[in-house]
Amino acid sequence: MISRSELKGPSVHKYQVCKSGLESKKNPIGLATYKVPDFPVNVSLESLIAEGKITLCSNQSRINVGVATCGRAAGAMDIYNNLEKRDWCGAVRVFKVGCIGACYAEPLVHIRTPEGKHYFYGNVDMSIFWHIIKTAEEKPGTKTLPFLWAITQESKTGILRGIQDMELIKVQNSGFRDFFQPQVRRISGRCGLIDPENIAEFAAMGGFGALEKALFRLKRKQIIDIIRTSGLRGRGGAGFPTGDKMNIAYENADLVRYVIANADEGDPGAYMDRVLLESDPFSVLEGMMITALAIGASQGYIYVRHEYPMAVHALKKAINCAHKVGFLGNNVLGSSFSFDITLVESGGAFICGEETAMLQIMGGKRGEPQLRPPYPVRQGFQNHPTVINNIETLANIPWIILNGAEAYRELGTPKSPGTKIFCLAGDIKRMGFIEVPLGTSTKVLIEKIGAGDKESIKALQIGGPSGGIVPYKDFSLDYETVESAGAIIGSGGLVTLNKKRCMVDIARHMVNFMASESCGKCSICRGGLLELEARLLTLTSGKGYPSILTEIEALSKAISSISLCGFGKTAATPVTTTLTYFRDEYEAHVNGKCPAVFCKPLINFEIVLPCRECHACHSVCPSGAVKRRTDKNERLVVDSKLCIKCWACYEACPFDRIRIVSEELHGKDDRNHS
Amino acid sequence: MTEKLAAWEKLSRNDKLLINMLHLIQEEQGYISRNRLAELAEKAEVPVSQLQGLVSFFNSFRTYPAGKHRISVCYGTACYAKGAPLINDRLVDELKLKDNIDTSSDGLVTLEHVYCVGACSRAPLIVVDGEISGKIKSHQVPLILESLRRKE
């Protein structure tokens, strides 16, 4: 084995200095962006770290604009383009970064000043541009404070390995503090602070340290033992111990082995893989490399979802970049370990997140799940042992290698150690991507971090469409407790549903999704789900009959007991859980009433007095249903015969004077008015 | 034979994945025609039926041409709960789409569904020609379509 001192490859340090430091002073307008040299060169880790520090903790101010998918949806590209266009006279550089997690605050701009202070601006629009420019340009001590959300200070100026290295010194927006305070950012600490396309910044933030340790200071068996004692469980849903999986592949007699990263994150409402890939792709590559090194694989695949074009782009760039500096390919970091990664783009099928279905696709066949055993870890891609891990699991591995198994077990519960990323969405104020220790209670997540209103929240949907919909109450989020509540943690999507959401319709939507995503191999899943959807559609269109609930129950039981794979077994969970917990809503639908006033055929719109007659509803109504009544009390009314129930008037009314009523109520109200 | 198909032979054994080739073909044409599929089958030495099976398995592959602009409505749980069906219904109305037809008769817009683009905080979302816009209300739909028409 080669020692570190022998590994001094040609440094690109000088290159970087001349590109960014000196030249930009001469030529203030041209902001040279970092480019990896075009020639294949083995760069040592030290020189990469030094190079990353130049941009990351420089003596220029640095502006980070979050331009991940959520940022773009909020218009962050306009902000970036405007800031980038400005002539900063070499004093400031503007960077595109990923997502820091506070998706509700997008577009988010964050400034690092040379003295190590970080200024966070949320919900940025053109009106506060001037404040951002002032903060970035002015000398210390004269900063302008309005519109700031928070200021943090690096614990030790110039050392920044993640958001955990910052101390909060001033909070202007208390929600921002509440969002971050209960979190522990172990694996997502770099997200939103580094340029995801720049390998040097990743290294400067402590990246590749684990790979170096694994390559030169640990034996392969030791790596596996560390992961095993850490108790890391697969984050994709099933929760299988990762170390055990690695060990099975390690002990296999077949010497050709593969690593596959499963980024086919199909669960609606879960986007942690997307954030990790868009904001910190190198950490996933590092996790893959360590796994490959431990089990002895030389080829890896990343099976990524087609619906995440930005993540695909980020991965392509990251793989190319890692190749160019010799962190991928032959003899990684000058060692005897060689590894390559190929990207596989899925085509939009939920079932392909199932490992055997994924392997079928990679083999060029339809993605139909296969009977296990043999498990892929014994006989997978091209019949060789294949370790398939979720993106989040892989991102955990470098942290464990670097900090040890004991440190990892400090957080979480004994059976589910470590931290888990959850995605908060739905009817709460602060939505986003959060990392908390496993076993944190839902109360902290929904009420403290998410600022959800306890009174208005009806249900939680945990673990994607095959998870369950459970009533909102305080319980701890670890694998066992959630399972006993009737749901699964799954990949970690938490969609909060408030009292306005109709449970029957949500269940119908889930079943519709599952029916369209069924691979069609088992007839009970292919046909049964369609039948189940038809029954639920009967309910939501107000044509229910007394025996329909028994039929729904029998059908969902049959689907889950006969299907072959996990998809079919869990496909009816949304229906069974809502039937258990929200049976009254189902019964109301049988009687032709939607208690949550959502199902179109069962509701009517009314304009209630006092109406200000602003005509907003009249102007947006596409079907001409909002009319002026011409009898003695002249006023605007909704003609229920013409109404197409598009909710346009309800959304447009500035005074909340549109009321939606369900049929039974409507009859009563009608009598009162006429 | 297109350049992209010719690249197949240069790929190493580990990189020869049919699904990646199908994406390349779709990128080039906007859809996957029968001719291209036959060409790929010949190159890769697999039956056309196997490729056809792969194409029909996925939502994102098209076997017939799409309209000039593509609008995807996100149907993920969060978007659905926050009103994606209302946007979809309004689009169907405005584009006068009939059952099983996803492209407007003037060939301007193709309406598609996507299950979660992963920006649930901005729900409900639509993706117009790859550009994501969030917090859409159904009465904004005519404006969006108008701006597409004006681009013509």
Predicted-complex ipTM score = 0.93
- Nearest by CB: A426 against B14, B58, B78: B78
How far is the alpha carbon of B90 from chain A, nearest alpha carbon, in Å? 7
Contacting B residues, span 71-110, partner chain A, CB-CB under 8 Å: 75-83, 86, 89-90, 93
Spatial strand order of the sheet with A109-112 comes to: A92-97, A61-66, A109-112, A117-121, A150-154, A166-171
- Nearest by CB: A70 against B44, B121, B131: B121
Instruction: Fill in the amino acid letter for A394.
Output: L
User: Is A667's pLDDT higher than 60?
Assistant: no
- Tokens 């949806």, located at residue: A73
pLDDT at residue number A647: 85
- Nearest by CB: B120 against A266, A348, A425: A425
User: Is A460's pLDDT higher than 70?
Assistant: yes
Q: What is the 3-state secondary structure (H, E, C) of A484-519?
A: HCCCCCCCCEEEEEECCCCHHHHHHHHHHHHHHHCC
Q: For residue range B96-134, list pLDDT tens digits in order.
A: 998 888 899 988 999 998 888 888 888 899 999 888 999
Q: For residue range A84-139, list pLDDT tens digits in order.
A: 888 888 888 899 999 998 989 888 999 988 888 888 998 888 888 888 888 888 76
Q: Are A269 and B79 in contact (CB under 8 A)?
A: no
How many whole angstroms separate alpha carbon A162 and alpha carbon A150?
Answer: 17
Inter-CA distances, A271 with A133, A236, A367, A472, A491, Å: 32, 12, 22, 22, 9
Per CB-CB distance under 8 Å, the chain B contacts of A382 are none
How many whole angstroms separate alpha carbon A362 and alpha carbon A378?
Answer: 17
- Nearest by CB: B20 against A74, A345, A648: A345
Per CB-CB distance under 8 Å, the chain A contacts of B138 are 646-648, 651
- Nearest by CB: B90 against A274, A426, A646: A646
SS3 state at B104: coil
Per CB-CB distance under 8 Å, the chain B contacts of A69 are 117-119, 132
Q: For residue range A484-502, list pLDDT tens digits in order.
A: 887 788 888 889 999 989 9
pLDDT at residue number A249: 94
Average pLDDT over residues A176-192: 90
pLDDT at residue number B91: 92
Q: For residue range B4-58, list pLDDT tens digits in order.
A: 777 778 888 888 889 999 998 888 888 999 998 999 999 889 999 999 999 999 8
How many whole angstroms separate alpha carbon A69 and alpha carbon B131?
Answer: 10
Q: Are A490 and A511 in contact (CB under 8 A)?
A: no
Average pLDDT over residues A364-381: 90
Contacting A residues, span 294-353, partner chain B, CB-CB under 8 Å: 299, 306-309, 340, 342-350
Indicate the CATH number for domain B69-151: 3.40.30.10
| DSSP letter for each residue of A25-68 | HHSSS--PPP---SS-----HHHHHHHHHHHHT-SSEEEEEE-S
Let me know if A127 is exposed, middle or buried by CB neighbors in 10 A (0-12, 13-18, 19+).
exposed
- Check A425 against B19: CB less than 8 A apart: no
Asked if the C-beta of A651 comes within 8 angstroms of chain B's C-beta atoms, the answer is: yes
- Nearest by CB: B118 against A271, A364, A461: A271
Q: For residue range A256-267, list pLDDT tens digits in order.
A: 999 999 998 888
How many whole angstroms separate alpha carbon A16 and alpha carbon A203?
Answer: 15
pLDDT at residue number A132: 85
Q: For residue range A516-528, list pLDDT tens digits in order.
A: 888 888 999 999 9
Average pLDDT over residues A321-334: 88
The half-sphere exposure of A551 on its side-chain side, counting CA atoms within 13 A, is 16
How far is the alpha carbon of A369 from chain B, nearest alpha carbon, in Å? 13
- Check A104 against B121: CB less than 8 A apart: yes
Check residue A127 and report its DSSP letter: G
- Check A427 against B90: CB less than 8 A apart: no
Contacting B residues, span 133-152, partner chain A, CB-CB under 8 Å: 133-134, 137-139, 142
Q: For residue range A586-614, list pLDDT tens digits in order.
A: 999 998 889 888 888 888 898 988 888 88
pLDDT at residue number A351: 87
Phi, psi of A240 (to 5 degrees): -75, 140
Instruction: Fill in the amino acid letter for A317.
Output: K
Phi, psi of A503 (to 5 degrees): -65, -35
Instruction: Fill in the amino acid letter for A297.
Output: A
- Tokens 């990207």, located at residue: A343
Asked if the C-beta of A650 comes within 8 angstroms of chain B's C-beta atoms, the answer is: no
Instruction: Locate A83 and state its tokens.
Output: 């800031």
- Tokens 């959300």, located at residue: A149
For residue A497, the tally of other CB atoms under 10 A from its CB is 23
Instruction: Locate A581 and state its tokens.
Output: 């917990």
Average pLDDT over residues A311-318: 93
> Please, which pLDDT band fits residue A22 given cuts at 50, 70 and 90?
very low
- Tokens 């004692």, located at residue: A229
| DSSP letter for each residue of A184-246 | --SSSTTTTTS-TT-HHHHHHTTTTHHHHHHHHT--HHHHHHHHHHHT-B-TTTT--BHHHHH
Most confident of A555-559, A632-636, A666-670: A555-559
Average pLDDT over residues A401-408: 94
pLDDT at residue number A143: 59
- Check B115 against A268: CB less than 8 A apart: yes
Per the document, the length of chain A is 674
The half-sphere exposure of A25 on its side-chain side, counting CA atoms within 13 A, is 6
Per CB-CB distance under 8 Å, the chain A contacts of B121 are 70, 103-104, 106, 425, 431-432
How many whole angstroms separate alpha carbon A238 and alpha carbon A234?
Answer: 7
User: What are the b/e assignments for A500-539, b being 16+ CB within 10 Å?
Assistant: ebbbbbbbbbbbbbbbbbbbebbebbeebbebbbebbbbb
> Please, which pLDDT band fits residue A665 given cuts at 50, 70 and 90?
very low
User: A97: alpha, beta or left, given left = phi > 0 and alpha = psi -120 to 50?
Assistant: beta
Higher confidence at residue A55 or residue A533? A533
Which residue out of A191, A312, A342, A650 would a mutagenesis test of the B interface target, given it has the greatest number of B Cβ atoms within 10 Å? A342
Beta bridge partner(s), residue A168: A152
- Check A73 against B133: CB less than 8 A apart: yes
- Nearest by CB: A268 against B46, B76, B139: B76
Q: For residue range B72-85, list pLDDT tens digits in order.
A: 999 988 898 888 99
How far is the alpha carbon of A349 from chain B, nearest alpha carbon, in Å? 6
How many whole angstroms separate alpha carbon A595 and alpha carbon A73?
Answer: 33
- Check A648 against B15: CB less than 8 A apart: no
Instruction: Locate A190 and state its tokens.
Output: 């770099």
Say how far residue A198 (Cα) sits from the centre of its chain.
21
How far is the alpha carbon of A273 from chain B, nearest alpha carbon, in Å? 9
Beta bridge partner(s), residue A605: A660
Contacting B residues, span 39-78, partner chain A, CB-CB under 8 Å: 44, 46, 50, 53-54, 57-61, 75-78
Contacting A residues, span 469-528, partner chain B, CB-CB under 8 Å: 493, 495, 497, 501, 506, 509-510, 513, 517, 519
- Nearest by CB: B118 against A274, A340, A342: A274
pLDDT at residue number A527: 93
- Check B116 against A348: CB less than 8 A apart: no
Phi, psi of A11 (to 5 degrees): -80, 145
Per CB-CB distance under 8 Å, the chain A contacts of B57 are 347, 349, 361, 366-367, 519
Q: Are A109 and A124 in contact (CB under 8 A)?
A: yes
The domain ranges of chain B are: 3-57, 69-151
The whole-chain average pLDDT of chain A stands at 85
- Check A267 against B116: CB less than 8 A apart: yes
How far is the alpha carbon of A494 from chain B, nearest alpha carbon, in Å? 10
Q: Are A364 and A32 in contact (CB under 8 A)?
A: no
Asked if the C-beta of B24 comes within 8 angstroms of chain A's C-beta atoms, the answer is: no
Nearest-Cα residue of chain A relative to residue B132:
A73
Closest to A119 measured CA to CA, from A104, A101, A133:
A133
Q: What is the Cα gyration radius of chain B? A: 18
Q: Are strands A299-304 and A340-345 parallel, antiparallel or unpaired?
A: parallel
Instruction: Locate A210 and state its tokens.
Output: 């684990």
How far is the alpha carbon of A603 from chain B, nearest alpha carbon, in Å? 14
Ranking A202-206, A550-554, A611-615, B45-49 by mean pLDDT, the lowest is A611-615
pLDDT at residue number A32: 43
> Please, which pLDDT band fits residue A42 given cuts at 50, 70 and 90?
low
Q: What is the Cα gyration radius of chain A? A: 28
How many whole angstroms separate alpha carbon A369 and alpha carbon A482?
Answer: 26
Beta bridge partner(s), residue A92: A61
pLDDT at residue number A399: 94
Closest to A375 measured CA to CA, from A365, A362, A361, A385:
A385
Nearest-Cα residue of chain B relative to residue A431:
B121
Average pLDDT over residues A551-576: 91
| DSSP letter for each residue of A59-104 | SSEEEEEE-SHHHHHTTHHHHHHHHHHS--TTSEEEEEE---S-GG
Q: Which domains are seen in chain A, by residue range? A: 4-24+206-407 (3.40.50.11540), 45-180 (3.40.30.10), 419-498 (3.10.20.600), 503-590 (1.20.1440.230), 603-670 (3.30.70.20)
- Check A425 against B134: CB less than 8 A apart: no
